Structure 1
């Protein structure tokens, strides 16, 4: 029917607008973090786009359920405000039929979220981790720009040129401040003709090895300082903390989680499935909450609806942590939470039916 296509189009259009705004906010926050890491020299700027692309499925799987939830609330709320829903009800469109129509875009969203949570997200995060790991192990200076003074961690670095495919620095200048307990900070300046990186797999450390140069150490306020000439001098570089953000289970494929019966694996698996299960539950909740009084406006029930969604998501996250820590049996898992919110949605749906409320008869 034309009217049902109209309803689906309204839901999808509103959902796309909401999803676009939410993705812009979340991706902007993540981009700022990566940009800060690039500015600190932890990752080269050329990797920013690739890292964001691999993170996109993890954003989509979280944003789409909320966007669909708000899309149903706002789209149907506008229809109630314009009395279009009243006309549809008068023409015989029941709440049950409305629910079945709303589940069609819900099924599309569920398929997209399932693809992301069960396959694309772990694959993308795994690729991100591999990129960052390879970058840490590479003996290049792709984060440096020749001819510029740059802040790399707590050091200021300058090089006139980079040769040998980005592996050798020429005319290197390094300035840093070394803090000593109970003493004034010491200013250290190092100059060398050349520099290159060396990875020590035994200690998992990375060194910048300088050749043919001088090192000066001066304490402000002191009349004397130290001068050291060297043929070879190694400077240990701090490891990036980027890989500490994710657990190993987040990088494993869904099939690997199913084969691994540990608590953390079961928690991660149930979380991925829950992102899909919550979509029809949210639709069941959103449908009755979208019914608003024209005098109250379309946003009258938006706040309680968002509170319901946030409590739903927060309880799922708490259950995931409890399962991973062994405090909640995996066979119980997150399913009681889905059941509770399904019953809430069912109660709201039945309460919103024409015969669902007690009618008050005039005396």
Structure 2
């Protein structure tokens, strides 16, 4: 029990450090991408935190297997460097028992990966797509950034100088609209000292209410122009839409995918179900790969191990695409890829034990 707690703690602590670094890199890259889109007015910056949180399970289902794989390599590599595993073997700890100790935390990691891949990731993807679709369909002043000309939907371009302290009132509003008048395109330019958004509770319609301004109408190629001075002018932005439904296999539930005979649905289901299995196979390969000579250093086999993981993941993705396109039988599926690396892991383990006995 003491040996189990010691090895498990070493592996999980190393895995947590690796997972934290990888998660920071990946989420940082996605944050920059979303922040740029928010700055361009694609969606309000207030939902940025929700988007990052919804993407977290999708990141974790790929990060955790790699982090666990590297955690075993680094933790056991350090134990080999310190000759601790040599002492364990001398005290009667067989390689088989060491493998059993390794597979026990693998069950915990596989459960977390399965929770993400089978439930949390599709749910998060569905909520993300719904949220972004609602923001694309809505014409909301919350997407506007002060000091920028931004597309505002329905051929409108808007500019505001600043928001009030509570974020509800806009100062120095400029709105350009395009409208058809016969065969000509009519331009409307509206300037106002201030404005705010108003939502009618009975209909759900949204309006941009402008105060103390002027509205000009000009048709290119014609000399006359229209001018309107107003104290209050209302622009209808649109009505709130119902929540959208998505017919995508990526956001479908795992039970729905399993019952769907479509090759794309079966490919997506096998991808989700195969990720927890991937954790055990990587753990099987990691134990023999972690055995290093003290002269090599603990990072001696790290680069080949990373290449092995990349090859495993690339073959899985290629198999999923091939099954989805109908070029590979659904009954065979992605399981030959898992079988290939399972056989490789058993071969590495057998070779390591045989070499140790000699």
TM-score of the alignment, normalized to the shorter chain, above 0.5: yes
Q: TM-score range by the shorter chain?
A: 0.7 to 0.9
Per the alignment, residue 173 of structure 2 pairs with 172
Tell whether the 8 Å contact from 1:41 to 1:152 is kept in structure 2 after alignment: yes
When normalised by structure 2's length, the TM-score is 0.80
Match of 1:157 among 131, 156, 159: 159
Per the alignment, residue 113 of structure 2 pairs with 113
Listed as ranges, the gaps of 5+ residues in structure 1 are 177-187, 199-205, 219-223, 238-242
Equivalences for residues 23-172 of structure 1 within 5 A: 23-145=23-145, 148-152=146-150, 157-158=159-160, 171-172=172-173
Listed as ranges, the gaps of 5+ residues in structure 2 are 178-186, 200-205, 239-243
**Matches of 1:209 and 1:265 in 2, distance apart?**
47
When normalised by structure 1's length, the TM-score is 0.79
**Matches of 1:107 and 1:94 in 2, distance apart?**
21
The two structures, once aligned, show a CA RMSD in angstroms of: 3.5
Distance change >3 Å, CA 294–CA 135, structure 1 → 2:
same
**Matches of 2:163 and 2:218 in 1, distance apart?**
23
Per the alignment, residue 294 of structure 1 pairs with 294
**Matches of 1:227 and 1:77 in 2, distance apart?**
82
Per the alignment, residue 315 of structure 2 pairs with 315
Q: After the TM superposition, which parts of structure 1 deviate over 4 Å for at least 4 consecutive aligned residues?
A: 153-156, 159-162, 168-171, 194-198, 206-212, 215-218, 224-228, 230-237, 356-359
Tell whether the 8 Å contact from 2:188 to 2:215 is kept in structure 1 after alignment: no
**Matches of 1:156 and 1:64 in 2, distance apart?**
44
What's the CA shift for 1:128? 1.1
Distance change >3 Å, CA 156–CA 72, structure 1 → 2:
same
Distance change >3 Å, CA 104–CA 47, structure 1 → 2:
same
What's the CA shift for 1:332? 0.8
Residues 245-270 of structure 1 show CA distances to partners (whole Å, capped at 9, x for unaligned) of: x9811111111111211111011100
Distance change >3 Å, CA 212–CA 2, structure 1 → 2:
same
Match of 1:213 among 212, 215, 222: 215
Question: Aligned pair count?
Answer: 323
Residues 71-105 of structure 1 show CA distances to partners (whole Å, capped at 9, x for unaligned) of: 00000000001111111111111111111000111
**Matches of 2:175 and 2:125 in 1, distance apart?**
34
Tell whether the 8 Å contact from 2:74 to 2:299 is kept in structure 1 after alignment: yes
Per the alignment, residue 190 of structure 2 pairs with 191
Distance change >3 Å, CA 197–CA 139, structure 1 → 2:
farther
**Matches of 2:235 and 2:298 in 1, distance apart?**
66
Equivalences for residues 212-361 of structure 1 within 5 A: 213-214=215-216, 228-229=225-226, 248-353=248-353, 355-356=354-355, 359=358
